[in-house]
A and B are shown apart, each in its own frame.
Chain A
């Protein structure tokens, strides 16, 4: 079955430092992977996706993610964190057997960037 795991409930990082939010996946077939961000009382905003091609994917707001097939990981990264990056981050994988482009979401990781 398709699944995605975010092993950290919360990540704390100082402003200006690099950040990493971890995600691992389990899929049958080729993975279609996504990162979304959610601010309080808001819907999800798309950050980036991996479908095929270059393993390093660049997305919105300076975020990037590295697809690692051997480690079945798709970690989200940013070279220099901002306080405004503080939010809830979700990794998702396309549920291929489910059809209709259904997504399976991880539990979410809360990112706290401290001044």
Chain B
């Protein structure tokens, strides 16, 4: 139980284009989802917290116009990287608050490469 999926698992896009990453809770309803970014051999950096039906809350230093987050349903949140640049290349991981209090369930991650 409490499975989170991400799609795609990896994506390559050209500089200047936009790419959308989906995060789904498969067997539970997630009122809150989190988006993280992870650089090689580094820890997870929280980018934003999204709640179903409301605007996402972005962490300091994260450009909300560049990283668009939508949490349209209790099982789906999307992260759109707009006008991607090579420095946006990273591993993006989502997580969701699930049925067990205080626990987060993580997706498998999406590796984005911008050429």
Contacts and interface: CB of A to CB of B under 8 A. Distances in A.
Nearest to A110: B41
Interface of A: 32, 34, 36, 41-46, 49, 51, 90, 94, 100-103, 105-108, 110
A101 B102 contact: yes
A100 B32 contact: yes
29 contacts: A32-B102, A41-B91, A42-B108, A42-B109, A43-B4, A43-B108, A44-B44, A44-B93, A44-B95, A44-B106, A46-B106, A49-B103, A51-B102, A90-B44, A94-B102, A100-B49, A100-B51, A100-B97, A101-B32, A101-B97, A101-B104, A102-B34, A102-B49, A103-B34, A103-B46, A105-B43, A107-B42, A107-B43, A108-B43
A60 B41 CA distance: 24
Interface string B1-24: 000101000000000000000000
Contacts of A43: 4, 6, 93, 95, 106-109
B105 A46 contact: yes
A107 B42 CA distance: 6
Contacts of B105: 46
A105 B44 contact: yes
A-B pairs, top 10 by smallest CB distance, nearest first, are A43-B106, A44-B106, A43-B108, A43-B109, A105-B43, A107-B43, A105-B44, A43-B107, A100-B49, A100-B32
B111 interface: yes
A46 B46 contact: no
Given A43-B109, A101-B101, 11 more contacts: A43-B107, A46-B104, A46-B105, A49-B103, A100-B34, A102-B49, A105-B43, A105-B44, A106-B43, A107-B42, A107-B43
